[in-house]
Structure 1
Amino acid sequence: MFPLQTLGERIRVLRKQRKLTLEALAGEQLTKGMLSLIENNKANPSMESLSYIAERLGIEVSKLLEEVNPQELRDLLKTVEKLFTVEVDELKDEYKQILELVEPYVEKLSQGYEAARLLEIYSRALYYEKKDGWQELLNKAGAIYDQMNIIRRLAAVGMFRSMVKFTEHDYESALDILLKERSEIEERSVFIDSLTRLDFDYLEAVLHYAVGDADEAIRVMNAGIEFSKENQVFYRIDHLYRLATFHAMMNEDLESMEYYERKLLLYGEFADDKEVMFFTIFAKVHYLTSYKKEYKAAMELIDAHYEEHNLSNWHTPYSYMEKGKVLYGLGKFEEALSCFGKIVIADYIHHPFDLSIFYEKDAYAALCYLELGDKAEAHRSIEIAVDNISSMPRTPYKDFIMKTYESIRK
């Protein structure tokens, strides 16, 4: 815990930092006893005494009157940043810890980068813990960033506002907010750093896809890729290539898909990024199961590669989905149902493409039940798939579910 310092505690800390004794700091205008009382919060100094103490400490009076000193905030922020950057699938009670650490300071956070960043992280922790008041504090953080002209953090605040709507599956509002935030920053800023530009490009492309505007998504995505190549800035490039690979796959553009897969492999080898390497394998398996219906080839690929990768929890639902489809295609219907039954859609998966891939599981399960002669379960499962997919934009996955629905109804 980082307790707030009192005025007396600040004076004592500063005195000791400067290696001054009570007598040395007291000088001619204060007694050692009076200074001791002040440091122990048993006496309140006059403004004249405070000015004298500040002068002998070599600081402005305003520094003594600060309710939180800068070093305190820096130390607190260092601890909070470590808690905040824990991987999603490793989260335990980090957000609760952040709330407990920052809460005593919230009312005192009014200026400076540390204050703004603490407010930003605290507001996000409130949101993730489903507590009220996060919007007001996020706005306050944004206002401080705005005053200080810290564009990257100001942009991050705007992107978070957009992502809140995205997680609510209000994709239109998410895109509107992002475009507004981006426009305002681009209009007021002569220079936007490369990382912020690529963050905007990636999220905008993702959201254009989410609302079903593939043409605009491709334009923004390609602009991001070209900017990255021209400026030799490889931040977000793997995410942009993944988007491009997935788009090519949905259009069954094998040449483009293989091109972007090669780019991803080169990046993965260069960055020693095992997750990127896994994605290329997953993409090949997914293409074989969902588009080519070549289940035997997909199983061979799974057997050859999946075991050599230490798959994290993030990959497990995708792995079960692909194995389930392969088993269905190979006529192993009960084993396929077992795989589909193990799929749990993580609560951080919100994009329509990812959701649509997982919503197919109930359509495949329906086909398995039909093959096993259980028509009642087949009808129940396909109804679930249709209910889930109905609000999603058109994709090959939605087409498959609706085609399966019509087939089973007959």
Structure 2
Amino acid sequence: MFPLQTLGERIRTLRKQRKLTLEALAGEQLTKGMLSLIENNKANPSMDSLAYIAERLGVETSELLEERTPQELREVLKTAEQLLKVDFDELTDEHEQVLALIEPHVEKLTQSYEAARLYDIYGRALYYEKKDGWRTFLEKATDIYDQMNITRHLATVGIFLALVKFTKHDYNSALTILLEKRSEIEVRNGLIDPLTRLDFDYLEAVLHYAVGNAEDAIRVMNEGIEFSKEKQVFYRIDHLYRLATFHAMMNEDVDSMKYYERKILLYGEFADDEDAVLFTKFANVHYLTSYKRAYQEALDLINGYYDELHLSNSYTPYAYVEQGKALYGIGRYEEALSCFGQVIIADYVHHPFDLSIFYEKDAYAALCYQALGNEGEAFRSIEIAVDNISKMPHTPYKDFIMETFELIHSK
């Protein structure tokens, strides 16, 4: 934590920063002795005297009454921003640290950029820690962003509010909120900055897919990709290409799938993004298991990628799913079930495509149990798969689960 300053200490600090003597700051309305008493906290200035001191220091009176100088708030904000940037799959207690860092300041913040960002980050941390009041702080942040016309941060708050609904799997509400916030910003500001535009394009495409609007998703996704190429701005481009890859895969458009995979690889090499490269390896394995049913070929690839996929926090659960499916396909049922048993769906996984991939493993587990003669566990597993997938939009994964349900029950 940063040390607290008293009113007198703040006045002294600002005076020395401006290279003023006691006499120079005291001017005609105060004496050197009185100012010395104020700086040493042995006398309290009247509001008139405080206003006079603030004017001579070139600051607002409210700034002197704050427990932090602007520079100190900037240091707090810098630390909070760093904590907020930690990836979800690497989080420990960062959100608790954010709350402890910002809480001493929230009641005394004024109308400044630093205040808006601290309100914003504090509200998000409250939400992640499942504490009440988070909306109030986001509203305070939004009001300041709005007054200062900071479009980028207005957009990120709108996106966050949409994602709150998304994480609750209320995909329709999430899409409605996003479209409303996007429209408000575009109407007010006309052309928005490229990064904000690409954030909106990416999430809108994601949410259109989530509610089953494939045509709208493809349109927005392609618009985002073309805009990125036109402006030579590669922000979000790998995520847009990942969406495009999965769309092509689900339609078994192999040429398009390979085209987008090459684009992702080029991006990964250019940006030194290992995660992008790993995605292409996962996509190849997944296509072999879920679409070609080429289980031995998939297992050979998995064995080649084992360390990379299994040592990545993001891909470990997906790797276990794919390994289990491949082992099922070559008749190694016990080993397959062992892999499925190690799958833990991370708290940050919410998109229907990702969830459907995970739910598919229960259908494969049912097939393993059936092959081993354990009808009770086969029925239990397929019921879990059907119950989970029923809330998801139509995909090949949903088709596979429902076909497996019919197969298990027919036998």
Q: Same fold (TM over 0.5)?
A: yes
- What does residue range 324-343 of structure 1 map to in structure 2 within 5 Å? 324-343=324-343
CA distance in 2 between counterparts of 1:60 and 1:259 reads 58
TM superposition shift of 1:23:
5.5
The secondary structure found in structure 2 opposite 1:191 is coil
CA distance in 2 between counterparts of 1:353 and 1:55 reads 59
Q: Which residue of 2 aligns with 1:355?
A: 355
Can you list the C-alpha shifts for 1:15-34, whole angstroms capped at 9, x where unaligned? 23234454664466544543
The secondary structure found in structure 2 opposite 1:270 is helix
How has the CA–CA distance of structure 1 residues 119 and 55 changed in structure 2, closer, same or farther, with 3 Å as cutoff? closer
Q: Which residue of 2 aligns with 1:90?
A: 90
Q: What amino acid does structure 2 have at the position aligned with 1:201?
A: D
The secondary structure found in structure 2 opposite 1:252 is coil
CA distance in 2 between counterparts of 1:90 and 1:308 reads 17
The secondary structure found in structure 1 opposite 2:111 is coil
CA distance in 1 between counterparts of 2:310 and 2:337 reads 24
Cα RMSD between the aligned structures?
Answer: 1.8
Q: Which residue of 2 aligns with 1:365?
A: 365
CA distance in 2 between counterparts of 1:48 and 1:332 reads 84
CA distance in 1 between counterparts of 2:393 and 2:64 reads 59
- What does residue range 303-318 of structure 1 map to in structure 2 within 5 Å? 303-307=303-307, 311-318=311-318
TM superposition shift of 1:72:
2.0
TM superposition shift of 1:305:
3.0
User: Contact conserved, 1:145 with 1:151, CA < 8 A, in 2?
Assistant: yes
TM superposition shift of 1:296:
1.1
CA distance in 2 between counterparts of 1:178 and 1:60 reads 37
The secondary structure found in structure 2 opposite 1:160 is helix
User: Contact conserved, 2:309 with 2:319, CA < 8 A, in 1?
Assistant: no
How has the CA–CA distance of structure 1 residues 339 and 195 changed in structure 2, closer, same or farther, with 3 Å as cutoff? same
Q: Which residue of 2 aligns with 1:2?
A: 2
How has the CA–CA distance of structure 1 residues 375 and 120 changed in structure 2, closer, same or farther, with 3 Å as cutoff? same
Q: Which residue of 1 aligns with 2:135?
A: 135
Can you list the C-alpha shifts for 1:43-99, whole angstroms capped at 9, x where unaligned? 211244335434554555554345643212111101111111112122111111111
User: Contact conserved, 2:334 with 2:368, CA < 8 A, in 1?
Assistant: yes
CA distance in 2 between counterparts of 1:114 and 1:56 reads 23
Instruction: Report which stretch shifted further, 279-288 or 297-306.
Output: 297-306
Identity %: 74
TM superposition shift of 1:136:
1.2
Instruction: Report which stretch shifted further, 201-210 or 261-270.
Output: 261-270
Q: Which residue of 1 aligns with 2:389?
A: 389
Instruction: Report which stretch shifted further, 261-270 or 240-249.
Output: 261-270
How has the CA–CA distance of structure 1 residues 237 and 180 changed in structure 2, closer, same or farther, with 3 Å as cutoff? same
Q: What amino acid does structure 1 have at the position aligned with 2:359?
A: Y
CA distance in 2 between counterparts of 1:308 and 1:62 reads 54
1:99 matched to 2:103? The reply is no
Q: Which residue of 1 aligns with 2:13?
A: 13
How has the CA–CA distance of structure 1 residues 106 and 395 changed in structure 2, closer, same or farther, with 3 Å as cutoff? same
CA distance in 2 between counterparts of 1:348 and 1:59 reads 44
Can you list the C-alpha shifts for 1:100-154, whole angstroms capped at 9, x where unaligned? 1111211222312111111110000000000000011111111110111100100
Can you list the C-alpha shifts for 1:360-396, whole angstroms capped at 9, x where unaligned? 1111111101111111111111111111111111111
Q: What amino acid does structure 2 have at the position aligned with 1:76?
A: V
How has the CA–CA distance of structure 1 residues 104 and 332 changed in structure 2, closer, same or farther, with 3 Å as cutoff? same
**Paired residue total:** 410
User: Contact conserved, 1:4 with 1:105, CA < 8 A, in 2?
Assistant: no
How has the CA–CA distance of structure 1 residues 299 and 33 changed in structure 2, closer, same or farther, with 3 Å as cutoff? same
TM superposition shift of 1:311:
3.0
How has the CA–CA distance of structure 1 residues 310 and 325 changed in structure 2, closer, same or farther, with 3 Å as cutoff? closer
CA distance in 1 between counterparts of 2:47 and 2:266 reads 66
User: Contact conserved, 2:309 with 2:316, CA < 8 A, in 1?
Assistant: no
User: Contact conserved, 2:278 with 2:308, CA < 8 A, in 1?
Assistant: no
Can you list the C-alpha shifts for 1:161-193, whole angstroms capped at 9, x where unaligned? 000000000000000000000011111112300
Q: Which residue of 2 aligns with 1:43?
A: 43
| TM-score, length-scaled by structure 2 | 0.95
The secondary structure found in structure 2 opposite 1:131 is coil
Q: Which residue of 2 aligns with 1:345?
A: 345
How has the CA–CA distance of structure 1 residues 267 and 59 changed in structure 2, closer, same or farther, with 3 Å as cutoff? closer
How has the CA–CA distance of structure 1 residues 11 and 401 changed in structure 2, closer, same or farther, with 3 Å as cutoff? same
How has the CA–CA distance of structure 1 residues 361 and 35 changed in structure 2, closer, same or farther, with 3 Å as cutoff? same
Q: Which residue of 2 aligns with 1:169?
A: 169
1:238 matched to 2:213? The reply is no
Q: Which residue of 1 aligns with 2:146?
A: 146
CA distance in 1 between counterparts of 2:248 and 2:288 reads 14
User: Contact conserved, 1:4 with 1:104, CA < 8 A, in 2?
Assistant: no
Q: Which runs of 4+ in 1 moved over 6 A?
A: none
Segments of structure 1 that go 5 or more residues without pairing to the other structure are none
